[in-house]
Amino acid sequence: MLTGIRERKMLHPGDTMTAEERLRAAICLQMPDRVPSAPLIYYFAAEYAGMSNHDLYDPAKYNAAMRRVFEELGGFDAYNWLNVYYPQLIAFSMPMRVLEPGYDLPPDSIRQFLEEEVMEIGDYDWILKICRRFPLLAYPRLFSRWIPRIWEEVGEGWRFYAYLVPRLQTTLLRWRWEFSRWRKRGATVLSACLLEAPFDNFSMARGLMRFARDMRSIPEKIERAADALVESYAFSIKWLCLYTGVKRICLAVHRSSNDFISPADFRKLSFPSLKRLVELLAAEGIASVLHLDGNWDRNLEILRELPAGHVVAEFDGTTDIFKAKEVIGDRICIYGDVPANLLALGSPAEVDEYCHRLIEEVGRGGGFILGTGCELAPNAKPENVRAMLESVTRYGYYRGGSGRAA
């Protein structure tokens, strides 16, 4: 018996690639054995397992719920995680005041973000200063300034580190253990972590109305501060990827869509820092999974400037994913885009039909990951989720090198 060789575990009988090999091929715009799947699941897992949303803060309950979804509804190639076991840590991804189920809201509620001022107007200048002094550590220093404004119990100075560092260490250890468990099941992990892109961090932390005024009155400070943070972002991401063993990162671009800003403002204020960050990560062999909520139809041409074969565009049901295939499909892997309303209100036959179309049209030639439009709806019908996950084995195998799934 051979030893020292990791087993190449296959998810389904017709597979000839592991989930990790399949995902890498899709991101690199190659044609894998079949279309990979990677739904974004959080609150649905609680509903399906008969738990409250608050129960998801318990690591054992969260993992039991996710495992049950995976084993009972058809399995998926990539675990697209959304779990943070301490509410205070959410601010590292989304620096906003937040109401949590079981803490500020009833246990079955969904997390609510508040458009309040966390980032002060003077913080733009402070960011430029701290980036000059600590270019690689500016990102964590920034959140040591912001998080105490969100969570008073965290405290400032040494209290901030005493409170959050043990919780962060525990969470990272849990993630690494969870990632290893998903690999043993035959799945892989889509990204090491989720972070908000610099421009979008400012928008969320300032609050929408204040940030809209900033864009008109001090656009040059926004642009300079976002660019100044790029090196520290890249340094932190490289460390996270090394620690977790996942060379992919999810960069959320929540406030850069056509729903929030014009293509001209995206080009001038958001895209330069995003592009430089993605390029720095690509140079290290790290792929960027861009979580593109909202409508991106008028920004697609700009996205073509990102490094080919190193980016995933993760759409949420608002962007025309079929247009996206035409415009950026030769440079960027496309993720999506089974809508929440279809999974919650449609029939299995309707879900199957739509997934078939996605696989045939967006999956043509490779470079496609089947997923949900943002998070899987908590009230999605289990039979619809099963139909979505089974579609990649029903229609997603590429035949005869034609580039078409059959």
Is 4 within a domain?
no
Alpha-helix residue ranges (DSSP H) falling in 290-339: 300-303, 321-328
**For all residues of the chain together, what is the average pLDDT?**
94
Burial degree of 400 (CB within 10 A; 0-12, 13-18, 19+):
exposed
Q: How many CB atoms lie within 10 A of CB 289?
A: 25
Is 217 within a domain?
yes
Is 11 within a domain?
no
The Cα 52–Cα 109 span in angstroms is 8
Choose between 400 and 176: higher pLDDT.
176
> For 111-135, how does the pLDDT look when each residue is reduced to its tens digit (9 = 90+)?
999 999 999 999 999 999 999 999 9
Q: What is the pTM of this model?
A: 0.95
In the block, residue with structure tokens 């035959």: 186
Is 183 within a domain?
yes
Query: For 405, which DSSP code?
Result: B
Burial degree of 106 (CB within 10 A; 0-12, 13-18, 19+):
exposed
Is 315 within a domain?
yes
* Three-state DSSP class for residue 30: coil
> For 63-76, how does the pLDDT look when each residue is reduced to its tens digit (9 = 90+)?
999 999 999 999 99
Closest CA to 206 of 100, 118, 74: 118
Given a cut of 80, is residue 334 above it in pLDDT? Answer: yes
Residue 406 has a pLDDT of: 57
Contact between 343 and 388 under an 8 Å Cβ cutoff? The reply is yes
The CA-CA-CA angle for residues 383, 61, 351, to 5°, reads: 15
Residue 290 has a pLDDT of: 98
**Boundaries of domain holding 52:** 29-394
Given a cut of 50, is residue 3 above it in pLDDT? Answer: no
Confidence of residue 98 (pLDDT cuts 50, 70, 90): very high
Is 224 within a domain?
yes
Is 234 within a domain?
yes
The Cα 222–Cα 211 span in angstroms is 9
Q: How many CB atoms lie within 10 A of CB 5?
A: 6
Residue 2 has a pLDDT of: 38
Provide, rounded to the nearest whole percent, the portion of the chain with pLDDT above 70: 97
Given a cut of 70, is residue 403 above it in pLDDT? Answer: no
Is 353 within a domain?
yes
Q: Please state the domain count of the chain.
A: 1
Please report, in angstroms and rounded to a whole number, the separation of the first and last CA atoms in the chain.
Answer: 37
> For 50-62, how does the pLDDT look when each residue is reduced to its tens digit (9 = 90+)?
999 999 999 999 9
Provide, rounded to the nearest whole percent, the portion of the chain with pLDDT above 90: 94
For residue 49, what is the domain's CATH number?
3.20.20.210
